[in-house]
Each structure stands twice: as structure tokens, then as C-alpha cells.
Structure 1
Amino acid sequence: MSSNDTCKNLPNIISSFIDTFVDFTVAGIFLPPSPPPPPPFQTTYPPADRLIAVGDLHGDLSKSKQALRLAGLIDSDDNWSGGSATLVQVGDIFDRGGQELKILYFLEKLKRQATKNGGCVVTMNGNHEIMNIDGNFFCTQPSGLDEFKNWAFWYTIGNNMKTLCNVVHKNSTNQTAPDDLYHGIPFSFPGVKEEYADGFRARIAALRPKGPIAVRFLSKNLTVVVVGGSVFVHGGLLARHVDYGLEKINNDVRDWIMGLKEKVCDDMVRSRESMVWLRKFSNEAVGECDCGLLEHVLATIPGARRMVIGHTIQSRGINAVCGNKGVRIDVGLSKGCVDGLPEVLEIRRDSDLRILRSRQGCDRLGREELVAPEKDLPMEVEVKA
């Protein structure tokens, strides 16, 4: 039998084996089997008995796991233990740290495990996801370039292995042939040291629209999501965003990431008042939060009671403003930010808000009541070991 005949008879499991090999080499994770095809891209979810929100992670895998363990969503082996809980991560996995890919793979593993156990994991776009898709690496660390350089090395090896037996072909729908990975990407970059050039090339190749990592992971991100009475968005929503259509926004951004749409409106994802850059509701100074505007925006979304946002580091930890209508959850936990202690927001039965904090960051054990200076409704704080 000729080698060509042998290749024709190779089962698809060879391709799956190669993908598993590459995944484990890059992230140290064996991803569980893919769940059944997901429902249509979903912007609105019913209330969850237990809803956990986690802020910006910025490339710090260890602190990300601490936050999820604090919430009881993962066990000592880093597997999903949250049962039917819903987790929303509000974006900014990228930049300031060097474990961005590892976090993407880890959250993908949890998505599959959670689905199998009746739970749900929702990942979102922050301004740093959009920046990286745009090829803006202003906040990227050298370790982040190294991680993508390593990914590109193994990814190319994997695709070369597939082409030996015609498992992957140039211009196929879901795969990138080896000679396509760097198509159109320059070999050098003005002002960039030669030692970093390959890292930049790999990062662009992976994250540009239609890039392998962009399609595989970032195309699943939402830019806005409503779970029961909670609206989640990285920076904030304005009435004009709601008028445009929340589902349309998610579809537009996804289609742009997939390479199906040439561009996405700057007012949605790039301007200072876009959904991922807005700071009208997250600036720590009380007087800078426009409660009237926030209440107006929420009133335009049926059933919305609160907006949960990240993007701006809160030096006093997770807090609420405007009668708990605005909840700010970015605590700067990454070592690349302020190395803050992990905190997570817990919402039970769509109304009971609690902040979960580690014992290390508290002067006393047990629980304490947190009453914001703005006379907001108290949010219970549970302090854990």
C-alpha cells in the first residue's frame, strides 16, 4: 500500500491527537471533550441561583485561580466544583502578565466542565482584548511575547504534522495551513528589538481577526451580557449602545473577530465612551459617578437592576454606588497591576449581593458589613481563608 493510500485511510482521531498534543505543550492542559454544540450566541440569560462575577485578570493565572477557588468554583485540582453556578469574567485577560494563553485554555476547560455539570462560564471582551485583536500591544509584557512565540512554534509543528497526511489543507474553513500563519505580517517592527520581533509576529498571527487564537477563544466572548437583573459590561453602557441593540453588538464584534466583518464601530469598542473604555461609572471619586445617567441606561434594559463593570482598579476593593445600581469589581489582582488580593462578587437569587474576600486581607475573621460612603445598601462581605 502506498503512503498516499495510508494517509487517505487515517482516521480523524489523528488530527485530534495532534491538537491535544499542541494544547498540552502550550498550556499544560488536556481539554475535556467538547460539549454538544452551544445554543445560538446568547446575550440574555435567566436569573441564576448563584452568580459569580470576577474582574480583570491581566495574565496572572495563579491569582485567577485564587479568585475562582475563593468563590468555590474550582477544587484543589483546578477542576470545576461550582455545580450549577454561573461565572461571568468581565474581560481583560490580556496584557500586563505573561500567562494569557494559559488563562484562555483554563477558562475553556472550565466552560466545558461547567456545562457538563449544569453550570455556565461566560467570558467577555475588555478593552485589552480589542487592543490585541487590533494589533495594539502597548501594554504587552516580554513574557507575553514569549508565550505566544512558544505557541506559534508548536502550532506550526502541529499543522506541519497534519499536512503530511493531508489532514489540513490551505484555505480550509477551520484550520490554518503552515504557510498561512504569518501571511502579510512583517519580519521586523520599527523600534522593536530583534529579540522580540518573533513574539510580535506570533501575537499578531494568533490574535488578528480570523487568527487561530482569536477564532478559537475570543470569538466566544460577549461584549455585553444580561443575567437576570444584572448587566455585565467591561467599561459601561450608554443609552445609545442599548438603542443600537445589545445582541447586535455581540454579533458585530464576534463577526469582526471571525473575519466575517471588515470592521466594528469605534463607538462600541474603541472610543473613550465605548463599552470597553467608558469610565463614567467606575471612577472611584464619588462625585464623578453620574447616577442619573446610570439609572437612565438601566431603565432602557427590561428587568435590569444593576450594572457590573471592571476596567478601573478599585483601591478599596469591590464596591457599589448609586444605590447598588453600579457595582465595580476590578481589584487589580494581577501582579502586573497592583497585585491586589482576590475578591469576587456573589449574587444569589438575583438580589442578595455579597463580596467574597480572602482572610489574608482582613483584620478580623468572620463577616463584616460594608456600607459605602454614598449610603448605598449594605453588601455583606464574607471573609474566607
Structure 2
Amino acid sequence: MEEPKTLCDNIPALFSSFVDTFVDFSVSGLFLPPKPTISPPQKTIYTSPNRLIAIGDLHGDLDKSKQAFRLAGLIDLNDRWCGGDATVVQVGDVLDRGGDEIKILYFLEKLKREAGRSGGNLITMNGNHEIMNVDGDFRYVTKMGLNEFRVWADWYCVGNVMKSLCNGVLEGGVRDLYDGVPLDFPGVKAEIVDGVRARVAALRPNGPIAKRFLTTNVTVLVIGDSVFVHGGLLPHHVSYGLERINEEVRDWIGGFKERVSSELVRGRNSLVWLRRFSDELAKNCDCSTLEHVLATIPGAKRMIMGHTIQEKGINGVCNNKAIRIDVGMSRGCTNGLPEVLEINGKSEVRILTSNALYRNGYKSSIETDVMKGIGFGIPQHGPKQVEVKA
């Protein structure tokens, strides 16, 4: 006589989905919108949208991250997407220096899904700190950051135990989070070992956090006439192939490729570490190399990058062909007031800033100043738009 089917036999996929949702909410406090049935493929080149927003380094500060999105009119007071069909690029460095790293990853994932349902697009990029963490380099991790990963790991393991109650819920069984991760680390204080182990397990190639959130990142991006990269591009990077770079970094983070060239993601001349175009003194920027790089990318007018904190706020050098958007907004950096870059469908560029010095009394309307450059000679960071002639 055939044995009656159990609940697990009837609804394994539903049960697994419930567990994942339970863990997500326990970790982030968010119920993620449903994933699209067919996710769009990772792309390197996009046509110009009607509205393009670039947001700099976030470094583990969820409050400042939300302020930046709200400044650009992308989220409402309930943190829901209200940016319509806008395209947004976050240029990397979500990780390190703060204690909200996982929460920001969830927040960005939520917005990606909400934006997609409204015809918009949120694209996230790899910064040097994403690469460092996948490499197991935790030099800039905070105690709060380690604790966040420890709490995430506890909930992740609870989810695995719940899933294991139903045989066959996951093909091949439930994966042990800590498989292959050392029990201790020489020189690491005992009170933070659990956090370090959790971070290694989560962010190593093919780790649950790396696979889920970082494999969807790009390392270089072209949208219309703007090139986006965390640190900068050199001629040999372009010759290597922009799509090839994105594929190789993605495959390494996802565990499909053992290593990725250090020329791409490690060292001072890599895409995520380069500072040749980021010095606040224009005379110290390598404008000739920048112009050569842009000339080799069809239609490119400007390179937009993060990585190097600009104490004067978002600014441009090399005749505005290099635009630097890292304003150190995280409290783990310089606690700068948020600024974001906006490019409209006519390729007109302006800065949206939260500096109260730009307010006209108590007026809430946004003013516009036409500047010959971007950001120089003006107070940093209220809401104000500083327009730039391309």
C-alpha cells in the first residue's frame, strides 16, 4: 500500500520560499517584492535613458544611503521606489566602514525589483571593497559590521535547519554554511572570531551573500555617453574588453572561475583602485590618458567614478570629462552630506546636493546655478541643483 504523502512532499518549493522570506525579514526587516519571472541579463552597454542618476560610495551607512536616494526623488518617505523609469547607478563600495552592509544590500535589492516593475533600472557596481571582501581582506571592517554578519549567519543556519526538516527541499541537501571555513584565525580576538567566520562564509566566492548580491554587480558600465567605473579605466583595460571584464569578475565571485587578473581588480592601476583621475587638484590628474581612453569607447564623453573622497563635493576635472562622485557620505568616512549626479536625456549634467547653505530661506523649490565646472568654489553638499554644461 502506498504511503500517504507528507506536507513536505506536496509543497517543498513553497516551504523553501517561506523559509527564505522568513530569514530575509529576520535579517533585514524587509519583505522583498517577488522576483521577476525572467531576470534581465547583466549588460555592459545601455542606451541613454530619460533620466540617469549616479550615486557614490555608501560604506555601510543605511541612513545616508536612503538620504541619497531620497535627494534624487527615487524613494518616498516609506522607502519605496518612486523614481519611475529612471536609471540609477551605484558605483560600488557598499561594504566596509559601517554596520549596515547587509541591510544596504537588501535595500538595494528591494529597490531593483520595485524599479523594474515601474520601468526603471538600478545597477550596482563592484568597488575595491567588494573585491577585498571576496578576497577575505577585512582591513576596513568594523565590529558592528562583523556583528551584522554574525547575526545574519545565525538566521541563515536557522533557515537551513528548517529546510532540513523536509527531505528533498533543496537538491543535494542543505549546504553547510561553514564548510571549509577555519574554526579560528591566528591573531584575531576571540570575541570577534564568530563574526569573522560568518563574513568569510558569506562573502567568499560562491558564498551566499556574494552569490546572491554581488554576482549581479558590474565592474565597468557604459550608459549613453557616460562611462562608469569605481576607480578608473586605462587603455589596456579597454583593449582587454569591457564585457570580458564583467564576465570574468562575475564568474570569480560566483565561484565558477578560480581567479581573476590582478590587473583588473587588484593593485593601484586596476579598475577599482585607480586614482589617476581623482586627485582634487586638477593639475595632478592624467587628462591625456583619460581623453585617450574615452576616445576608444564609441560615443563616450565622460568617465564617472567613486573611490576617492571629494571634500568639495561632486566635481569635475579635465574639462568635465572626469566626474568624481564619492563625497564620503558614510559616517564611517567623513560623514559628508549626500550629493548625487543627474544626467538628463539631453546629456545635461547637474549636481543634486543636500547642503542647507544652498537653501533660499525656507523655500523648498530647487534653484539652479549654471557653473563652468562642477563643484569647485561652492560650498559642499541643500536641496539645490548645480547645472553643468557638458
- Count residues with an aligned counterpart: 375
Give the one of 184, 192, 198 matched to 1:202: 198
Match of 1:233 in 2: 229
| Counterpart check, 1:346 vs 2:342 | yes
- Check whether the contact 2:337–2:355 (CA below 8 A) recurs between aligned residues: no
Could you say what secondary structure the match of 1:217 adopts?
helix
Alpha-carbon distance in structure 2 between the residues aligned to 1:361 and 1:197:
45
| Counterpart check, 1:259 vs 2:282 | no
Could you say what secondary structure the match of 1:276 adopts?
coil
Structure 2 residue ranges without an equivalent (≥5): 362-366, 386-390
- Check whether the contact 1:22–1:154 (CA below 8 A) recurs between aligned residues: yes
CA distance 1:168–1:267, shift in 2 (3 Å)? farther
Cα distance per residue 1:20-70 (max 9 Å; x no partner): 000000000000000132233200011011000000000000000000000
Could you say what secondary structure the match of 2:215 adopts?
helix
Give the one of 183, 198, 209 matched to 1:213: 209
Could you say what secondary structure the match of 2:356 adopts?
helix
Alpha-carbon distance in structure 1 between the residues aligned to 2:39 and 2:10:
30
Give the one of 267, 270, 273 matched to 1:277: 273
Alpha-carbon distance in structure 1 between the residues aligned to 2:375 and 2:90:
26
| Counterpart check, 1:113 vs 2:114 | yes
| TM-aligned CA deviation for residue 89 of structure 1 | 0.1
- Check whether the contact 2:93–2:126 (CA below 8 A) recurs between aligned residues: yes
Match of 1:69 in 2: 70
| TM-aligned CA deviation for residue 122 of structure 1 | 0.2
Q: Aligned AA for 1:229?
A: D
| TM-aligned CA deviation for residue 105 of structure 1 | 0.3
| TM-aligned CA deviation for residue 10 of structure 1 | 2.6
Alpha-carbon distance in structure 2 between the residues aligned to 1:106 and 1:234:
20
Could you say what secondary structure the match of 1:213 adopts?
helix
- Check whether the contact 2:71–2:383 (CA below 8 A) recurs between aligned residues: no
Alpha-carbon distance in structure 2 between the residues aligned to 1:375 and 1:314:
10
CA distance 1:163–1:2, shift in 2 (3 Å)? farther
Could you say what secondary structure the match of 1:220 adopts?
coil
| TM-aligned CA deviation for residue 212 of structure 1 | 0.5
| TM-aligned CA deviation for residue 7 of structure 1 | 2.3
Alpha-carbon distance in structure 1 between the residues aligned to 2:44 and 2:240:
14
| TM-aligned CA deviation for residue 361 of structure 1 | 4.7
Match of 1:48 in 2: 49
Give the one of 311, 315, 320 matched to 1:319: 315
- Check whether the contact 1:84–1:120 (CA below 8 A) recurs between aligned residues: yes
Alpha-carbon distance in structure 2 between the residues aligned to 1:5 and 1:168:
12
| Counterpart check, 1:362 vs 2:363 | no
- Check whether the contact 1:60–1:98 (CA below 8 A) recurs between aligned residues: yes
| TM-aligned CA deviation for residue 188 of structure 1 | 1.3
Alpha-carbon distance in structure 2 between the residues aligned to 1:371 and 1:382:
20
Alpha-carbon distance in structure 2 between the residues aligned to 1:291 and 1:3:
73
Match of 2:290 in 1: 294
CA distance 1:70–1:107, shift in 2 (3 Å)? same
Alpha-carbon distance in structure 1 between the residues aligned to 2:154 and 2:269:
38
| TM-aligned CA deviation for residue 170 of structure 1 | 6.9
| TM-aligned CA deviation for residue 371 of structure 1 | 3.6
- Check whether the contact 1:354–1:382 (CA below 8 A) recurs between aligned residues: no
Could you say what secondary structure the match of 2:88 adopts?
strand
Cα distance per residue 1:47-104 (max 9 Å; x no partner): 0110000000000000000000000000011000000000000000000000000000
Cα distance per residue 1:341-385 (max 9 Å; x no partner): 000000001511010011425365633344439999xxxx9617x
Match of 2:15 in 1: 14
CA distance 1:94–1:117, shift in 2 (3 Å)? same
Could you say what secondary structure the match of 1:135 adopts?
coil
Alpha-carbon distance in structure 2 between the residues aligned to 1:148 and 1:374:
37
- Check whether the contact 2:315–2:376 (CA below 8 A) recurs between aligned residues: no
Alpha-carbon distance in structure 2 between the residues aligned to 1:142 and 1:17:
31
CA distance 1:272–1:168, shift in 2 (3 Å)? farther
- Check whether the contact 2:12–2:169 (CA below 8 A) recurs between aligned residues: no
Alpha-carbon distance in structure 2 between the residues aligned to 1:374 and 1:16:
47
- Check whether the contact 1:331–1:341 (CA below 8 A) recurs between aligned residues: yes
Structure 1 residue ranges without an equivalent (≥5): none
User: Which structure 2 residues correspond to residues 144-159 of structure 1 after superposition, within 5 A?
Assistant: 144-159=145-160
Q: CA RMSD in A?
A: 2.0
Q: Aligned AA for 2:81?
A: W
Q: Aligned AA for 1:195?
A: E
Match of 1:329 in 2: 325
Cα distance per residue 1:212-262 (max 9 Å; x no partner): 011100000000010000000000000100000000000000000110000
Alpha-carbon distance in structure 1 between the residues aligned to 2:298 and 2:250:
24
Alpha-carbon distance in structure 1 between the residues aligned to 2:345 and 2:383:
17
Alpha-carbon distance in structure 2 between the residues aligned to 1:310 and 1:359:
20
Alpha-carbon distance in structure 2 between the residues aligned to 1:164 and 1:227:
47
Could you say what secondary structure the match of 2:384 adopts?
strand
Alpha-carbon distance in structure 1 between the residues aligned to 2:370 and 2:40:
40
- Check whether the contact 1:355–1:382 (CA below 8 A) recurs between aligned residues: no
Alpha-carbon distance in structure 1 between the residues aligned to 2:322 and 2:68:
21
TM-score, normalization: structure 2?
Answer: 0.92
TM-score, normalization: structure 1?
Answer: 0.93
Alpha-carbon distance in structure 2 between the residues aligned to 1:168 and 1:235:
42
